Chain A
Amino acid sequence: MLSIKNLKATIEGNEILKGINLEIKPGEVHAIMGPNGSGKSTLASVLAGREIFEVTEGEILFNGKNLLEMAPEERAREGLFLAFQYPVEIPGVSITNFLKAALEEIRKHRGLVPLKGAEFLKYMNEKKAMVELNENLAGRAVNVGFSGGEKKKNEIFQMAMLEPKLSILDETDSGLDIDALRIVANGVNKLKSKDNATIVITHYQRLLDYIVPDVVHVLYKGRIVKSGGKELALELEEKGYDWIKKENVDA
């Protein structure tokens, strides 16, 4: 589904990603962990096509297509979804209007006709229920005045609405209370299928109790320096990153 080879990316001349290799198959869940500033969000942004980052080397194939040649909206329509670490506020634009427009584009790309008003509302209500989204949130402007946790929940709600093939969750767990964490994780699990894949970026093993990863990667200074099974997350929780850092002093 996703194949990243020797990916290097810079911002304002600083190299942040220094040769990432990653293979993800349909049905898999990959967790990416790593110390602050190691490049996790940068990787997510580059995958989503954020232009402020410059890709200097490497290639990315997404379902066999060259991802780096696609505009951000084309990547989204192809089924790539990013739940942002810091979702932005868009005053005046209601979530309902926004998602109606977004879903229309994505359905059009998949050769489906737009949902009619009533169908759309029904569909939206199902998804709202799935992530237990506060009733009146959907009528409000996108993220404006949302609490930290509400913003994160709203990201998962959008993911549920748009039914992506590859979802990247960038620290969706931080800021969520214990109940919300369970609800969000359940939502993600319900949306999981053998055809789609998930990248979970997190600092906490706790989320991985709910969303069980097939592989855990450690990103450090722009490289994946260690990969392992779900027990790697436990080990990191116990020991911190020092031992990884020590192993990689020369890297």
Chain B
Amino acid sequence: MKSDNDILIDELASKEYEAGFITNIESETFPKGLNEDVIRALSEKKGEPAFMTEYRLSAYKKWLEMEEPNWALLKYEKPDFQEISYYSAPKNLPKFNSLDEVDPELIETFNKLGIPLEEQKMLAGVAVDVVFDSASVHTTFRKELHKLGIIFCSISEAIREHPALVQQYLSSVVPVGDNFYAALNSAVFSDGSFAYIPKGVRCPVELSTYFRINQGNTGQFERTLIVADEGSYVSYLEGCTAPQRDENQLHAAVVEIVALKGAEVKYSTVQNWYPGDKEGKGGIYNFVTKRGLCKGDYSKISWTQVETGSAVTWKYPSTILKGDYSIAEFYSVAVTKNHQQADTGTKMIHLGKNTKSTIISKGISMGKSNNTYRGLVKINPKAENARNFSQCDSLLIGDKCGAHTFPYIDVDNPSATVEHEATTSKIAEDQIFYLNQRGLDTENAVSLIVNGFAKEVLNQLPMEFAVEAQKLLALSMEGSVG
């Protein structure tokens, strides 16, 4: 027989998605399907220079020859790529000077999400470049950033305005043929963000972008490119939430980061895409390639991610430590519930001497979900004195969920130090009871334990983001407790 506690845990695990709604902004959409003509039309529509059209076509050709990967521990229905429309943009795209000019329905959408732009603008100097569907609608603080020589704009704009920079760095970290989804993204990416921090400049604000998937059946192929020139610093925030949907939606983003000599890039993500209903129907498919290159000596890249959404996630933010003395960090919290499946982790590729990487991964599984950590630490023959420390902890809530850890370690230099620690724990009935006995209901108790479990990672997030992430975690624990 189920104890009340078990029933409660079931309820907690099936919390309905809170941000589920659909906005109705008129949009211009390509017919479904993918071929060379579609790619040419897309490139033309976006007013791209010839090198970009060529780039896209070469990626498309590579993609045609590639097989969809099968090795991740995921079960899902393969997307039909001819059933997707590859371009969609809100109609009549003007550049706004103030929020009053923005479509009220869009504002309403953000209000429902609890992230009104008005507040965003004032929020601790956060510049927000909103990617709504495939085209960028609003950009703030651009002028301030411009004075410092910082470029922060949509990738489409960067392709038009700063073609040399884009041509130099695009696919310098993730080659067009890197993997099936990266190739597809390179061929058809619609929009995304671009940031360039010049030599010696410390970006004074957190750069932030909200991604949303809005158009039914419009796969989103975001492309992000961040280049930190010598001795510069930038903290970049990415946050996602999406409306409820009936069909599975594909999301195949590519994020590339380049850190030159002595530069530091901090990339934080809070991801809350629609995970599907209790049976797993209708959730987002999230196949993302995120990779950073510590190109110069003494450069540093940190990834921090809080993942609570998507039906299927396949994501390994990775770093190539090429420069000597470069540093890479990966901090991750991944929550899965109901039928969600997440296969995430990181790759740390040590090429340079005295390079150092740290991996802290926290997986939380509830309901019938599956949470997999897959990590690779590779120490190349020339990486003298490379060091890695990995810690992978799993927390299980209930007994129908699973956690799996696959640490691959590949050391080709005997001077390397590689440490791996892993733990799996369960929230025990007596822990919940102890907290109940002090006046906390079970929902609160679980949330407290989960936040405690994830603390090491949450602490890495910038302040205002950490608060949001904590709320998100609490929200994903929340049940319909009377």
Contacts and interface: CB of A to CB of B under 8 A. Distances in A.
B449 A158 contact: no
Contact of A88 (B3, B434, B442, B454): B434
Interface size class of A (residues with CB under 8 A): 20 to 34
A62 B439 CA distance: 16
Contact of B437 (A76, A93, A101): A76
B9 to A, nearest CB: 13
A48 B437 contact: yes
Contacts of A141: 452
A101 B444 contact: yes
Interface stretch (B125-133, B217-225, B252-260, B425-433): B425-433
B431 A101 contact: no
Interface in B429-482: 429-431, 433-442, 444, 448-449, 451-455
Contacts of A90: 431, 434-435, 449, 452
A91 B448 CA distance: 10
A101 B441 contact: no
B408 to A, nearest CB: 27
B5 A51 contact: yes
A56 interface: no
A164 to B, nearest CB: 10
Contacts of B65: none
A97 B444 contact: no
A73 B448 contact: no
Given A51-B3, A91-B453, A92-B449, A105 B431 contact: no
B103 interface: no
Given A101-B440, A101-B444, A106-B439, A72 B452 contact: no
B4 interface: yes
B422 to A, nearest CB: 15
Contacts of A82: 437
Contacts of A76: 436-439
Contacts of B436: 49, 71-73, 76
A162 B434 contact: no
A87 interface: yes
Interface in B324-352: none
Contacts of B451: 92-93
Interface in A57-107: 71-73, 75-77, 81-82, 84, 87-94, 97-99, 101-102, 105-106
A172 B185 CA distance: 63
A91 B3 CA distance: 24
A24 B425 CA distance: 41
A109 interface: yes
Interface residues of B, number: 26
B426 to A, nearest CB: 12
Contact of A91 (B425, B440, B442): B425
B438 A98 contact: yes
Contacts of A162: 438-439
A52 B448 contact: no
Contacts of A158: 438
Contacts of A142: 434
Interface string B216-241: 00000000000000000000000000
Contacts of B452: 90-94, 97, 141
A90 B433 CA distance: 11
A105 B440 CA distance: 7
Interface string B342-366: 0000000000000000000000000
A109 B439 contact: yes
Most chain A CB atoms below 10 A, which of B3, B435, B441, B451: B435
Contacts of A91: 425, 452-453
Nearest to B427: A90
Nearest to B450: A92
Contact of B430 (A49, A81, A88): A88
A190 interface: no
A159 B313 CA distance: 45
A102 B434 CA distance: 11
Contact of B440 (A81, A84, A87, A102): A102
B441 A84 contact: no
A101 B430 contact: no
A50 interface: yes
Nearest to B362: A92
B433 A50 contact: yes
A107 B219 CA distance: 49
Interface string A18-54: 0000000000000000000000000000001111100
A72 B449 contact: no
Nearest to B429: A52
A168 to B, nearest CB: 10
Contacts of A106: 439
A139 to B, nearest CB: 13
B439 A92 contact: no
A106 B440 CA distance: 9
A101 B430 CA distance: 18
Interface string B1-23: 00111000000000000000000
B448 A72 contact: no
A72 B455 contact: no
Given A50-B433, A51-B5, A88-B430, A93 B439 contact: no
Contact of B431 (A73, A81, A88, A99): A88
Nearest to A105: B439
Interface in A97-124: 97-99, 101-102, 105-106, 109
Contact of A84 (B4, B5, B434, B442): B434
Nearest to A158: B438
A92 B434 contact: no
A187 B140 CA distance: 58
A71 B5 CA distance: 11
A158 B437 CA distance: 11
Given A72-B436, A90-B435, A97-B452, 4 more contacts: A71-B441, A76-B438, A84-B437, A90-B449
Interface of B: 3-5, 425, 428-431, 433-442, 444, 448-449, 451-455
Of all A-B residue pairs in the complex, the 7 with the closest CB atoms, nearest first, are A92-B452, A93-B452, A72-B436, A102-B438, A105-B439, A76-B439, A106-B439
7 contacts: A51-B5, A72-B433, A73-B436, A75-B437, A90-B434, A93-B448, A98-B435
